[in-house]
Amino acid sequence: MLGFLNEYASYAKLLAGAILLSICFYIGFHIGNSRYLEYKSKVEIAQKEQEAKVESIQKQHELITKGVSDEYEAKLVALRNYYKSTSVWNNSSSNMSGLSTTPKSADVISAHNELIGNCAQTTLMLVELQKWINEQVGIK
């Protein structure tokens, strides 16, 4: 009778080992899976926070761009009106011939006014661009 039990004892040991191995595998899988699900939820939360932050930054960039653009357009119109009103062409009532052999002083003054006006417009453009860049860099 002991021989009979010894024969089944080895099967019982194998079965107990297989059950123990299955339990260890299940516990390891469960721990790893719970850690993965926790990590996944943290990543999703971080992703949502980052998307909200990026959206906020984009809105700030758009507001700054719109504000600087509107301010630039207003200053540009004022600048053009100023140089147009101080131009000799607008202040003189005489008709000048289009073809002349020597430049008249009015032509030279008008050319200088146009050059100064263009320089002022370029300077305004650069100043507003610098302002826009500084404000864009300041957003975090």
Please list, in sequence order, all residues whose beta carbon lies within 8 angstroms of the beta carbon of residue 60, skipping any fewer than 6 positions away: 139
DSSP conformation letters of 57-89: HHHHHHHHHHHHHHHHHHHHHHHHHHHHHT-HH
pTM across the whole model: 0.56
- Local confidence pLDDT in tens for the 140 residues of the chain: 556 667 788 888 899 999 999 999 999 999 999 999 999 999 999 999 999 999 999 999 999 999 999 999 999 888 888 877 765 445 444 454 554 555 555 566 677 777 888 888 899 999 999 998 988 888 77
